[in-house]
Structure formats: C-alpha cells, structure tokens
Chain A
Amino acid sequence: MNRDVADPQGGWSCPRPLDRYPQVLLAHGGGGRLMQQLLEQVFLRAFDNPLLNQRHDGAQFEVGGQRLAFTTDAYVVRPLFFPGGDIGTLAVNGTVNDLAMCGAQPRWLSAAFILEEGLPMAALGRVVESMRAAAKAAGVEFVTGDTKVVERGRGDGLYVTTAGLGVIPHGQCIGPAQVQAGDAVLVSGDLGRHGMAVLSVREGLEFEGPIVSDCAPLAALVGALLEGGIEVHCLRDLTRGGLVAALNEIAACARVQVAIEEAAVPVSEPVRGACEMLGLDPLAVANEGRLVAFVAARDAERALELLRAGPHGAGAQRIGAVHAGSPSRVTLRSRIGIARVLDVPSGEQLPRIC
C-alpha cells in the first residue's frame, strides 16, 4: 500500500535506525518526542561539540574577553499575517528572545529570505516593514542578509531565517545546568495565545473573542531581572511545545524535578475555551512572547515585581518550584488537587474528534 521509492535512503544509512519512519513526517517538526529523536539521532550526533551540547536557546562563548551569545532560527508560518503579528515580527522577536534567554543583549541580526515566485510585492513590503519596526523596538540592527527566489509552488510564499549575535554584559551563567532544588519557577504572562491565534486564522475557526498573538521581544524584561540583581538560573522562551516542552527539557538537563500548580498557570479564557473545544493542552501550545524563569527562591517575589513592571510582563505569575530527586520529571497538581506527570507530547498536538 506504500508507494515504493527507488532509493528512499539515498545511499545514506542512519547510524541508529530512525525508528519506523523512512521519511520525514510533519510530526518530526512538532516539538515533541519525535523531534527530540530527530535532533539527537541526526543533528547532534553529526555536529557534536561542547557549545552545541549546552542545548540552550543559543550558544554562549567568549571571544577576546567578551562573552557573546549566538543563535539562529528559521520561520515558516501559514498564514503569513495573523492577529498580533506576522512572519516578520516572529523572525525578529524569536531570534531576539533566544539571545535574551542566554542573558545577552541582542545586537546584530542577519536575515535570509526564500521568496516564492508570485508572492505579492505588497506582502513582502509589509513583512519587511514589520521587521524594521520590530528590530527598532528590540534595539537590534540587520547587518547582513541573503535572498533567493524559488518557483511557484515550491515555497509557502515566504520563508525567513534569521541569526543573531548578542553580548553578555554580566558574569551570571544562565542555563539549565544552573537550576537547583528550591528555585522558584515563574512565567511572564498568560500562555497559549500565539499558537491559538495562528490556528484560528489558518483553519478559519471562530471562537467567542479574537485571540491575539503574544509575539513580543523579551530582552528588556530579562534586562530588568538582571539589572535588578535577581539571581537568575535559567530562562527559556516558551515557543514550540510551550511550557510543557520547556520544563521537561530543563528538568532533564538539570536532573531535577519541577512541580507546578495548574491553577497558578495563567491562561486567558478565550484560549482555555478554544483548547477545551479542540482537545489541546494550552500548556503545550506555542507562545512567541512568553518566558519561564528559574530564579533563586529568595528573589522570587522581587523578580515577579520586576517582571510585572516590565514590558510584556504584566501577567507574570509564580507557578511552581524545583525539587531534588531522581529521575527528572515535571509534575502538575491539577485543579482538584491531585498531582500527575506532565509529559511531552509525542508529536504535534492533534485536534480530537468529539
């Protein structure tokens, strides 16, 4: 029943068979366990080195006495324009946020555009204008770039890849390895809006109220924490896979247990309603302007105040704590008071039938 392909492997054989699938599935890009397997078995295995193995949002290293952070991200989104942003604002804020999660001040960006033949010039103009405005707001500059055009039907209108370089002006080390038992776990605002905003426009779903993406730069918010003297151990922006994926990755890297309270995690009513209807977990839905911060417990209240006073942090909440213990795992205490494991979804979350 499968169509035969002459040589599906192309002469290449995977060192460890990629389980059952001889071809890439959409689920391999869904931020779940299949994607982890793809990263580990294909990319990390091939490119293995200490900086890559930090497995943070960006690599952190020192050049001539200056600490730097370096990151890259590719942006594909359908539709290109959605409530609260477009592919251009994503391409700037996503990369800016990855640098911010290293505790860096984002400074320089590159942009590579893959344009599909037939893309309206006006759409491209709108995206580029969004990028200009977002870069200005985040205090970064585009200093290099590239453009390619592919035939009609070979691209989704427009793909953008950005890379970013930032400077780390302080001595604090920020990453999963710094997380320790007792740390407080904070989020910077309500979760799930970006993913549900894009889904509702793409699929033409109508919910009670419009859901607007949370897409925003987070560097200033991180700056406020660091300048406020908060002992920040780890930061992660809650993109693909949402809070669930971020907490599980951090818990596994740091070899700790993370316990959160479902009732403390802020989710807006339209997002909760839409997720309930579709059978999605808002905690596993993507955000583009939200972060989770692991901070020393004694700094937690002050960190919350700084977040709430900062840009895009008004809805910040303390959602849980880190505990010692093995094996690493994330647990969530449900609204009726029972704790359960909060596991990474397998692939993309798929809407249910009824």
Chain B
Amino acid sequence: MGAVRDGSRDDVRFLDEYRDAAQAGAYARALRRVTARPWTIMEVCGGQTHAIVRFGIDELLPPQLTLVHGPGCPVCVTPVELIDKACEIAAQPGTMLCSFGDMLRVPGTRTDLQAVKAAGGDVRVVYSPLDAVKLAAAHPAAQVVFFAVGFETTAPPNAMAVWQARRQGLKNFSLLVSHVLVPPAMAAILGSPSNRVQGFLAAGHVCTVMGYREYEPLARRYRVPIVVTGFEPLDILQGLVMCVQQLETGRAEVENQYARSVRREGNLAAQRIVREVFRVVDRKWRGVGEIPESGLGLAEAYAEFDAERRFGLTAYTAAEPTECLSGLVLQGVKKPNECPAFATRCTPEHPLGATMVSSEGACAAYYRYRRPVEAECEREGL
C-alpha cells in the first residue's frame, strides 16, 4: 500500500508502517475528496471496531460518512444458552473446561465462568485448542472440554484439535461448539427491513482462511460494495476510500485491500480440515436470533466429540436478557452509547451483554475509549 516508514525509530519492523500519522492524514484527505453523498458503511469484524475506536479513526472521517459496527465479535454473538452450558459443564466434578480468556466474563443466565471457577469449577484459560488436547492426554481420568467459539478464523485450529484427539484415541476430549459464519450474518443484515448498511469492510482474517469468492454473490444480489480489509489504521482508511469510491461510482464489487494476507481462494488446506470435521448448521446469534445455515457443528463422523451430546445438554435453551440491546448494536441499527443501560447499569465489571465484555465488543470499546469524554461533553452541553 505504499506506506513509508517513520524513519525516526529503527526498532519496529512490522507495525508502524500501518500506523503512520502523515499517511493517515493523506488517506483522510483522500476520503474527504471522494465522499460527495452520505453513506453508511459497516466494518464487519470486532478487531476492526476495536482499532477504529482505539486509534480514533472515526474522528478523521468526513461528516457524510457513518460507520456502524458489525457482528464480527465471536464472544459477543455466542448465545446465552451456550454460556449456560459451559457453566454447567465446568461445575461438574471431574471435568476441565478449557476456554479462551475473554469468554470467562461473559454473563450467562445466572452466572459466568469466572464465578464458577471461584466456586471450585475447573476452568482453564488456554491459548490454543491443541493445549486442551494435551491436557486431555495428560489427565485421562478427567473429561476435558474445549469451548470452541469463533468465526471461520478459529475453525481450522479447532478442527485440527478434534482430528488430533481422534488420531490419539482420546475418549475424554470434546468440543462445546459455537462456531459462526460471516456471510450468512451479512445476508441477514442486508435482508432485514431495518437495514441501513450500504457497503461493507469485510473481515481480513476470516478471508485469509476462506478467501472471498463467497462474498461475490452477496455483492451482486444486494448491490453492495464489499472491501476485504485489514486491521491497522491505514488498512481501514484505505478500505474506506475503496468502498466509498465504489458507492460514489455506482459499483458493487468485492475488492481486496488486504492483499498482503488474503487470496481469492483463501487457505485451501485450512478449508479442507474444516470440511472434514465440521458441517454447516443453523445457529442462534446472541441478540439476533437463529440464522439458517450460519454456523458450524461437528460432522456426524465426529459426533462422539460433541460435548453437548456427551453431557446431555442438546435440548437446553435459554432466553436472552431483555434489557440488553446488543442485538441491535451487532446489526448496526444502534450505537452502543444509544443504549439506556450503557455505562450505567451495564459496565465491563457487570455487563448485561457480551458486547460489553470482549475487547472486540463494540460496547466495551466505546466504554473504554469514549465514555468519560462523551459523558463530560453531555454534562457541559457541548
């Protein structure tokens, strides 16, 4: 993307190229030049939302351009009933529930995993699903369950964990699966009567795995530009310029801003292992409801590794809390600070919904980077 190095420091090789203030200013000016009419663009991925708020990218945008935050935060869209199931499993003696760290604070119906852990449940934070496989091999008397949450990005390593567990003949390893897929969620947003999204920044890492062929029919069918975009400030600004150029000229194509990582066909080996272990299933999204064919579950050949079956939890369902507006936030209909509970009854210490928990959640990002300034401005009538 032709970024120049800052030159004043010689110790950073791979980040500052994409965080350069002068380049950011140049992209911001370009964006103002190309934007003539009002447009609403959604960044799909929570990692992009976090970067936008963390670096203040939205403050560089022309006034006609509105960014809305998408559903691409895996923690945020995991339905409350799956948190309940994880808590139920973790509370059983002889089980070890392994999870990525940010699931621990997500509220279920009555409790969360960190409280289950404090009450004696064996909850372990791991950094890779393969660590959970190792734990299962090392503790044959325990039932080891990995909480497999995430989009297409985490599906290949989770599939690999199951594949390895079978190869090692492990009978005490299973997955509590809550995998979701991006394109069906984008289709659901575009098909909703309350939709106001006119263009997308697609999630760069998801496309690194899956490629972007499956976005082409979406762009055609709904006549929306989709730009596969990275996560650094300059990536996001360049993605916005490309998206607005399409909108202004009436094009609706899939373009690839994140070419340093993404190929059209994606990572074929990763896709193969996902197809081997998982199958496409209907999934509930927190705050949104059930979306057909929007997630992954274990394929029939790997059903023995399904924790819901092993622990008899397949039939359990739970209603979402009513006060939390995260469903509307995740569909880009509301901004976090438009929620009456924001920063009052809902805080990172006591979240009503997952969007207030995860570092990629839109509400948490607003709380962390925006709250005091905005609250003060309101008080001072600014």
Q: Which residues of A contact B373 (CB under 8 A)?
A: 340-341
In the complex, what's the smallest C-beta–C-beta distance from A149 to chain B, in angstroms? Answer: 25
- Chain A residues 1-46 with CB under 8 Å of chain B are 1-3, 5, 19-21, 23-27, 33-34, 37
Is B74 within 8 A of A353, CB to CB?
Answer: yes
In the complex, what's the smallest C-beta–C-beta distance from A265 to chain B, in angstroms? Answer: 12
Report if A346 contacts B (CB, 8 A). yes
Q: Which of A130-138, A170-178, A181-189, A267-275 contacts B (4 or more CB under 8 A)?
A: A267-275
**Bound-state Cα–Cα, A2 to B59, Å:** 44
| B93 closest partner in A (C-beta) | A3
If A329-B372, A353-B75, A354-B153 touch, whether A334 touches B102 (CB-CB below 8 Å) is no
- Chain B residues 343-375 with CB under 8 Å of chain A are 347-350, 358-360, 367-373
Contact with A along B100-125 (1 / 0, CB 8 A): 11111100111100111111110001
Q: Which residues of A contact B121 (CB under 8 A)?
A: 3
Report if B199 contacts A (CB, 8 A). no
Report if A203 contacts B (CB, 8 A). yes
**Bound-state Cα–Cα, A347 to B351, Å:** 13
Is A341 within 8 A of B88, CB to CB?
Answer: no
Is A337 within 8 A of B350, CB to CB?
Answer: no
Q: Which residues of B contact A351 (CB under 8 A)?
A: 100-102, 125, 127
If A1-B110, A341-B371 touch, whether A23 touches B56 (CB-CB below 8 Å) is no
Q: Which residues of B contact A339 (CB under 8 A)?
A: 56
Report if A122 contacts B (CB, 8 A). no
- Chain B residues 1-47 with CB under 8 Å of chain A are 11-16, 19-21, 24-25, 47
Report if A118 contacts B (CB, 8 A). no
If A1-B88, A23-B119, A351-B100 touch, whether A335 touches B55 (CB-CB below 8 Å) is yes
In the complex, what's the smallest C-beta–C-beta distance from B320 to chain A, in angstroms? Answer: 17
Report if B308 contacts A (CB, 8 A). no
Report if B264 contacts A (CB, 8 A). no
Report if B286 contacts A (CB, 8 A). no
Q: Which of B56, B105, B110, B372 contacts A338 (CB 8 A)?
A: B56
| B13 closest partner in A (C-beta) | A269
Q: Which of B75, B118, B205, B358 contacts A23 (CB 8 A)?
A: B118
Is B233 within 8 A of A269, CB to CB?
Answer: no
If A272-B12, A279-B359, A354-B153 touch, whether A336 touches B372 (CB-CB below 8 Å) is no
Report if B376 contacts A (CB, 8 A). yes
Q: How large is the interface on B (under 10, 10 to 19, 20 to 34, 35 or more residues)?
A: 35 or more
**Bound-state Cα–Cα, A5 to B20, Å:** 55
Is A354 within 8 A of B349, CB to CB?
Answer: no
**Bound-state Cα–Cα, A33 to B88, Å:** 28
Is A354 within 8 A of B11, CB to CB?
Answer: no
Report if A343 contacts B (CB, 8 A). yes
If A352-B101, A354-B74, A354-B205 touch, whether A25 touches B54 (CB-CB below 8 Å) is no
Report if B149 contacts A (CB, 8 A). yes
Q: Which residues of A contact B233 (CB under 8 A)?
A: 334-336
Is A336 within 8 A of B21, CB to CB?
Answer: yes
Q: Which residues of A contact B74 (CB under 8 A)?
A: 353-354
Is B368 within 8 A of A343, CB to CB?
Answer: yes
Report if B84 contacts A (CB, 8 A). yes
Q: Which residues of A contact B91 (CB under 8 A)?
A: 1-3
Q: Which of B15, B104, B110 contacts A350 (CB 8 A)?
A: B104
How many residues of A are in contact with the other chain, CB < 8 A? 42
Is B60 within 8 A of A336, CB to CB?
Answer: yes
Is A354 within 8 A of B154, CB to CB?
Answer: yes
Report if B57 contacts A (CB, 8 A). yes
- Report which residue of B13, B16, B25, B372 has the largest number of chain A beta carbons within 10 angstroms of its beta carbon: B372
Is A2 within 8 A of B115, CB to CB?
Answer: yes
**Bound-state Cα–Cα, A27 to B369, Å:** 21
Q: What is the count of residue pairs linking A and B with beta-carbon distances less than 8 angstroms?
A: 146
Is A25 within 8 A of B115, CB to CB?
Answer: yes
| B21 closest partner in A (C-beta) | A337
Report if A301 contacts B (CB, 8 A). no
Is A346 within 8 A of B118, CB to CB?
Answer: no
In the complex, what's the smallest C-beta–C-beta distance from A340 to chain B, in angstroms? Answer: 5
**Bound-state Cα–Cα, A23 to B117, Å:** 10
Report if B87 contacts A (CB, 8 A). yes
Report if A327 contacts B (CB, 8 A). yes
Is B154 within 8 A of A353, CB to CB?
Answer: yes
- Report which residue of A3, A5, A27, A273 has the largest number of chain B beta carbons within 10 angstroms of its beta carbon: A3
Is A354 within 8 A of B84, CB to CB?
Answer: no
**Bound-state Cα–Cα, A350 to B109, Å:** 22
If A20-B350, A340-B369, A350-B101 touch, whether A327 touches B84 (CB-CB below 8 Å) is no
Q: Which residues of A contact B372 (CB under 8 A)?
A: 327, 329, 341, 343
Q: Which residues of A contact B118 (CB under 8 A)?
A: 21, 23-26
Q: Which of B119, B153, B348 contacts A346 (CB 8 A)?
A: B348
Is B87 within 8 A of A1, CB to CB?
Answer: yes
Is B349 within 8 A of A19, CB to CB?
Answer: yes
**Bound-state Cα–Cα, A34 to B118, Å:** 15
Q: Which of B117, B120, B349 contacts A34 (CB 8 A)?
A: B349
Report if A205 contacts B (CB, 8 A). yes
Q: Which of A27, A272, A278, A340 contacts B54 (CB 8 A)?
A: A340
**Bound-state Cα–Cα, A20 to B350, Å:** 8
If A327-B372, A350-B125, A352-B360 touch, whether A337 touches B105 (CB-CB below 8 Å) is no
Report if A305 contacts B (CB, 8 A). no
Report if A276 contacts B (CB, 8 A). yes
In the complex, what's the smallest C-beta–C-beta distance from A325 to chain B, in angstroms? Answer: 10
Q: Which residues of B contact A19 (CB under 8 A)?
A: 349-350
Is B370 within 8 A of A338, CB to CB?
Answer: no
Is A2 within 8 A of B154, CB to CB?
Answer: no
In the complex, what's the smallest C-beta–C-beta distance from A74 to chain B, in angstroms? Answer: 19
If A2-B91, A353-B154 touch, whether A336 touches B24 (CB-CB below 8 Å) is yes
If A23-B115, A23-B119, A341-B373 touch, whether A352 touches B359 (CB-CB below 8 Å) is yes
**Bound-state Cα–Cα, A307 to B110, Å:** 52
10 closest A-B pairs by beta carbon, nearest first, are A338-B56, A350-B101, A346-B348, A336-B24, A335-B19, A23-B118, A354-B153, A337-B21, A334-B55, A353-B100
List 9 A–B pairs whose Cβ atoms lie within 8 Å, in order of A's numbering: A1-B109, A1-B116, A19-B349, A343-B368, A346-B349, A347-B349, A353-B74, A353-B100, A353-B360
In addition to A1-B109, A23-B118, A269-B11, 12 A-B residue pairs with Cβ atoms within 8 Å of each other are: A3-B91, A26-B117, A27-B105, A27-B114, A34-B349, A37-B349, A334-B54, A335-B19, A336-B20, A337-B21, A341-B370, A353-B103
